[in-house]
Structure formats: C-alpha cells, structure tokens
Amino acid sequence: MTFIRRTIVTLRSGLIGLLGCLFIGLFLTTASGQTMSNKDYIIKMQDINTVSGLTGGTNYKPRPTSGEISSDVLKGVNFKVRTGFENIASHLPFSVTLSSDLIDFGILSPTNPIIRTVDLRMHNLPLHGYSVIAFEDHPLRKSPDASGEFIPDTTCDNGGCSQENAGEWTNTLTYGFGYRCDNVTGVDCSNSFSNSNFYKHLPDISNGQSSQSVMSGIRAKNKETRISYKVNISGNQAQGIYSNIITYIAIPNF
C-alpha cells in the first residue's frame, strides 16, 4: 500500500514537472544565438553574427559583419564592398531545404502513373524576393547509359506542355515524366499550376534547355511548396532501372 502511494506521489510530481517544463517551453521565446558544430567542436554564439571573417584588399583588412547589421560597407584604397541588403526583413541567413535527396518510383507498370512528392522550403527570405530554379541532367534514362533507352519528358495530353508551359495530364495513355508545383505555405508556385492536373516537364540541360523557375516570390516570409513528380510508361517501354538527377538552386533576387 505504501509502495503504491509513493509511486503515485512520484508520478504526480513527475506530471507537475512535465507540465511545468511544457509551460516554460511554450512561453519561452526562441533563442537567437547560433550554433556551429562538427565532430570536433561546438561553438555557441549569443549574438547573430552570421558572417564574421576577414575581408580586405592589398591595403587593408577590415572585419565585416552581417546579421544584426543587415548591410555592411567596407572601403579600401581601390574599392568598396557592400554585403547584404540594407533593408532586409530577416536577420538570419537565406536558407533552403529539400525534404529528400531521393525520389524512388519503385516498379513502373504500363499505363499506371506513379506520383511521388518532395517538399521545398525557403527560410529567411530577403525582402527583395527570391526564386528557385530547377533542371534535370537528362530524361529518366536506363542504366547503363549505353543502352540509349529513356522515358521521354511529358508533353501532356494535348502534346502542348513543355519546360515553360503547363498542360493537362490525366490520360493514362499519355506517357512520360513531368512535375507540378503545389503551394503549401505562400503562393509562390507558378500560376500555370492552378489547375490540379496541370504538369510541365523539367528543363533538360543535356538538350540545351535553360533552367526554369519552379517557385518565386517577393515577400519576406517562410515559404513551402510541394513538387510532385509523375511518371507513366507505355507497354513498349524496355524493362530496367531508369534514373536522372534533378537540381534545385535557390537564388536571392539582386
């Protein structure tokens, strides 16, 4: 009986402690200090000083900072350097996150489209805006490359979509590889994807196509989009493992 009572008392104090910690955690503001670490060290900085290093020329060695100071001007004998924007909304460095480095389509079967997604998140955007461009190294190609077999980039149901223009793709007899962009936070996907069945194909740099913007915006808030890849093959497609590399590059506006 005594043991049960003690256990109850201990659990009750544990619950109080847990609630206390949660309460404190809920109302604590996020610390703005920055941590840098690897296997050998951990450095915690109280101040946000995202760039602090030597900048200089032949005749001087000034010490630039950015972060709390959003723009910094450095003058040398023959030059002047300004880093960062003067009127940025965020004091944290421009960041981008992609939820996965691998999109596995699994086994492909004819006229059975496969759709897989990846999330693209932007953080601490400059007030002037940004864009994310994307391209593929080549269409989904069978390994080894020497076989020459590939799944073509989609041109959608009416044959009219491209790396620049979106088109409807619902027909299971339309084959190829394409993508679409859906807004999760913000409205930075292209308006051409406003119809839920509209797709484009990624620019193929092996074919001389130039990279295209998949999301862009100008308001300084965190943004998130979901990129959906769709692949559909015909019955004539040779069996094998098809793959390619898709590159996303986040670029602040100048």
Partner 1 sequence: MNMKKLKIGLLIGLLGYLFIGNIPVEAGALSLSLDPPIIEINALPPSTVTSTLSIQNKSDNQVHLIIQVKPFRAKLENGELEYFNSEDSLMLSNIKVLDNGAAVESVTLGPSQQKNLILSINIPQDTKTSDYYFSIIFVSENSLSPTSNASLNQLGIATNVLLSVGQKAIPDAIIEEFSSGLFFEKGPVPFTIRLKNKGIHFIKPKGNIFIKNMFGQSIGKLDLMSVNILSDSTRAIPNALWKEDFLLGFYTATLNTSLSNDGPNFTRSINFFAFPFQGMIVIIIVAIAAIIITNRLKKIRTFS
131 in contact with partner 1 (CB under 8 A): yes
> Site map for partner 1, 97-126, x if CB under 8 A?
xxxxxxxxxxxx---------x----xx-x
Can you tell me the distance from the alpha carbon of 114 to that of 16, in angstroms, rounded to the nearest whole number? Answer: 49
242 in contact with partner 1 (CB under 8 A): yes
Q: What does the radius of gyration of the chain's CA atoms come to, in whole angstroms?
A: 26
Instruction: By CB under 8 A, name the one of 2, 29, 30, 38 that touches partner 1.
Output: 38
> Site map for partner 1, 153-192, x if CB under 8 A?
----------------------------------------
> Which CB atom, from 160 or from 219, has the smaller least distance to partner 1?
219
Can you tell me the distance from the alpha carbon of 122 to that of 201, in angstroms, rounded to the nearest whole number? Answer: 22
> Which CB atom, from 183 or from 228, has the smaller least distance to partner 1?
228
Can you tell me the distance from the alpha carbon of 188 to that of 218, in angstroms, rounded to the nearest whole number? Answer: 9
What letter does residue 152 receive in the DSSP assignment?
P
> Which CB atom, from 44 or from 195, has the smaller least distance to partner 1?
44
Can you tell me the distance from the alpha carbon of 181 to that of 214, in angstroms, rounded to the nearest whole number? Answer: 7
Can you tell me the distance from the alpha carbon of 197 to that of 214, in angstroms, rounded to the nearest whole number? Answer: 16
Q: Enter the tokens of residue 200.
A: 């484009």
Instruction: By CB under 8 A, name the one of 85, 175, 198, 199 that touches partner 1.
Output: 85
197 in contact with partner 1 (CB under 8 A): no
CB of 221 to partner 1, least distance (A): 13
Stretch that binds partner 1, among 11-19, 153-161, 162-170, 183-191 (CB under 8 A): 11-19
* 14, 148, 227 from 248: Cα distances, Å: 47, 26, 11
Q: Enter the tokens of residue 61.
A: 């060695």
